[in-house]
Amino acid sequence: METHTIQWGDHRLELGKNTCVMGVLNVTPDSFSDGGKYLSPQDAIAHGERLIEEGADILDIGGESTRPFSEAVSIEEETHRVVPVIEALAKRVQVPISIDTSKVEVARKALEAGASIINDISALRSEPDLADIAAQYGVPVILMHMKGTPKTMQISPVYKNLIEEIKSFLEERVLFATSKGIPRSRIIIDPGIGFGKTFDHNFQLIKHLRAFESLNLPILVGPSRKAFIRKTICKDDLSPEAPQVESGTQAAVAAAVLAGAHMVRVHDVANTRITLKIIDAIKNA
């Protein structure tokens, strides 16, 4: 497997030998899995610390749900949700904090509060000036593929060639990012499981993940608790927090890592750490 080192500020990520775990912290009332659970800053801060105790290498904090058919929230509301949490956690934890946003002003305030990675599901398309902020602050960016917007992405997504289209999209967005002064050494790509894909597309993406290695960049995959797992286990759907869904998530994590993922974005860090102890050992044998 290709290895990558990302170094910036006081942080360094060694990617390849051991899989990096990004813990999800949604400070939202309506996220598909944990919406409303960590809306108060106190609850969010406590959960963030818990994720790090369980072994998270990065905390990914978001204040706007991007589940299918979700509505956007204002800059003010998103900032109000995330900044106090980032500010408090940045003083208490050593791991890098990622801000999950597509908005320039939210990212700026988050970085000022102590975040040090930008995770943009729009791959710098929604607000292209976000690239300037990333370059200015010298932070890594995660560029994700999404067809449409969260509100429209799951309305009959169609591809002529799934892998090639997503790869071309990511290649183009990486070129845009580097043209804005973000070095390739600070770019992570995410094929966007569940974002404008059918269930079959998601399974194909995980199966053929190695195709993205030709981009020579770290690959992030986020399958955690998503509908393609839930509906495959049970046609009537299951609660995202059902134990069977977590088992399904761990199967997807294991498959993704063996297929070339360097990082996984998950809700349950403790279970993922157990899975990765075995999968990384197999991978490195």
> Contacts for 167-172 with beta carbons within 8 Å, 24 or more apart?
167/211, 167/212, 167/214, 167/215, 169/123, 169/145, 170/123, 170/143, 170/145, 170/212, 170/215, 171/215
Phi and psi for 260 in degrees, rounded to 5?
A: 125, 5
Sign of CA dihedral 269, 27, 194, 192: negative
From CA 202, how far away is CA 172, in angstroms rounded?
21
Catalytic residue positions?
A: 226, 265
Kind plus residue range of the DSSP H or E element containing 261: none
- At 190 the three-state DSSP class reads strand
From CA 264, how far away is CA 227, in angstroms rounded?
17
Give the list of residues 6+ apart from residue 31 with CB closer than 8 angstroms, or none: 62, 65, 67
Residue 26 amino acid letter: N
